[in-house]
């Protein structure tokens, strides 16, 4: 029987009051409820305050380049589909630098869970506007206020038929933990965008600001996460009322199921066949006349 101490990593180094603490606690609760052994978990992250979370858990982790967590996670999942792969990145890391990887992983639908710590600001680099910053948000760089439209990750994901789209809130730990559990149990790409107050660089979207606005989608008895139009409508709701929950479910085959090489099981279990490689090389050198670079050999 696993306990919370089994997931304890190094001591956290976030600012006091950071929303990342709530996300970390929700992740631990979800892993504990699912009784996932640490050695069967891989956490992947890029660069940023959010990407430090795997350091604070006892499990396998890979801390890579800015915005490049998703391709690493995809490769790891293809090499060992039996591993539970969870990505932690911030809104700038995932939707800015990693935006292209975000879109194409939705297309490929790997069985990984992507948790985005969305504090609407670049916290590690001292408070520049991020892709999800609201219009008018002022920073030391955007002194006249952000004039670009904010990136809406949920609406984008729903429009691309992402198989699992959800939003949580760092101040609603139990509800967030349930969303993370559902995301891990879902077969396919699971996006969980988490509203995360940054007390140091974002003095607009605070815990109080969110607490006065968030509500659970379950309160709307007519809402159906299988209906893309209703999900899209809810994804655009922002301001006085901000919904939390599972917005969209669209089960479909994963990339692991579509790759023939994985039909015989995980790659690490498959035996290397030297003769097969020799056959391929022999075939490659068999027709030098059709390969100008081999003429004369």
Question: The tokens of 28 are what?
Answer: 């631990």
The whole-model pTM stands at 0.92
pLDDT value at 156 more than 90: yes
Single out the residue of 163, 180, 178, 162 nearest to residue 41, CA to CA.
Answer: 180
H or E element at residue 233? helix 228-235
| pLDDT tens sequence across 62-93 | 999 999 999 999 999 999 999 999 999 999 99
pLDDT value at 296 more than 70: no
Q: Give the per-residue pLDDT at 98.
A: 96
- d(Cα 100, Cα 88) in Å, to the nearest integer? 16
| pLDDT tens sequence across 87-140 | 999 999 999 999 999 999 999 999 999 999 999 999 999 999 999 999 999 999
Confidence of residue 291 (pLDDT cuts 50, 70, 90): low
Kindly give, in sequence order, each residue whose CB lies less than 8 Å from that of residue 278, ignoring residues fewer than 6 positions away: none
Q: What average pLDDT is seen over the chain?
A: 94
Q: Give the per-residue pLDDT at 286.
A: 77
H or E element at residue 118? strand 113-118
How many CA atoms lie less than 13 Å away from 295 in the CB half-sphere? Answer: 5
């Amino acid at each position: 029987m696993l306990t919370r101490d089994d997931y304890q990593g190094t001591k956290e180094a976030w600012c006091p009051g950071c929303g990342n603490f709530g996300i970390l606690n929700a992740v631990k609760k979800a892993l504990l409820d699912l009784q996932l052994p640490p050695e069967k978990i891989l956490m992947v992250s890029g660069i940023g305050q959010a990407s430090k979370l795997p350091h604070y858990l006892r499990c396998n982790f890979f801390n890579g380049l800015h915005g490049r967590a998703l391709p690493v996670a995809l490769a790891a999942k293809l090499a060992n589909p039996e591993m539970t792969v969870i990505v932690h990145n911030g809104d700038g890391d995932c939707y800015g630098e990693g935006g292209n990887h975000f879109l194409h992983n939705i297309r490929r639908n790997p069985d990984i869970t992507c948790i985005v710590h969305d504090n609407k600001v670049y916290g590690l680099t001292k408070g520049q506007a991020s892709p999800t910053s609201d219009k008018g948000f002022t920073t030391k760089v955007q002194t006249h206020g952000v004039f670009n439209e904010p990136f809406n990750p949920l609406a984008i994901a729903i429009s691309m038929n992402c198989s699992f789209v959800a939003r949580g809130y760092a101040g609603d730990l139990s509800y967030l933990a349930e969303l993370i559990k559902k995301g891990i149990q879902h077969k396919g790409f699971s996006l969980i965008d988490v509203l995360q107050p940054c007390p140091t660089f974002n003095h607009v979207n605070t815990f109080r600001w969110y607490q006065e606005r968030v509500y659970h989608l379950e309160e709307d008895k007519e809402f159906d996460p299988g209906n893309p139009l209703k999900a899209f409508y809810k994804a655009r709701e922002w301001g006085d009322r901000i919904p939390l929950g599972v917005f969209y479910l669209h089960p479909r085959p994963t990339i692991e199921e579509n790759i023939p090489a994985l039909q015989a099981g995980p790659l690490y279990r498959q035996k290397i066949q030297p003769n097969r490689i020799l056959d391929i090389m022999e075939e490659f050198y068999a027709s030098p006349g059709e390969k100008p670079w081999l003429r004369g050999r």
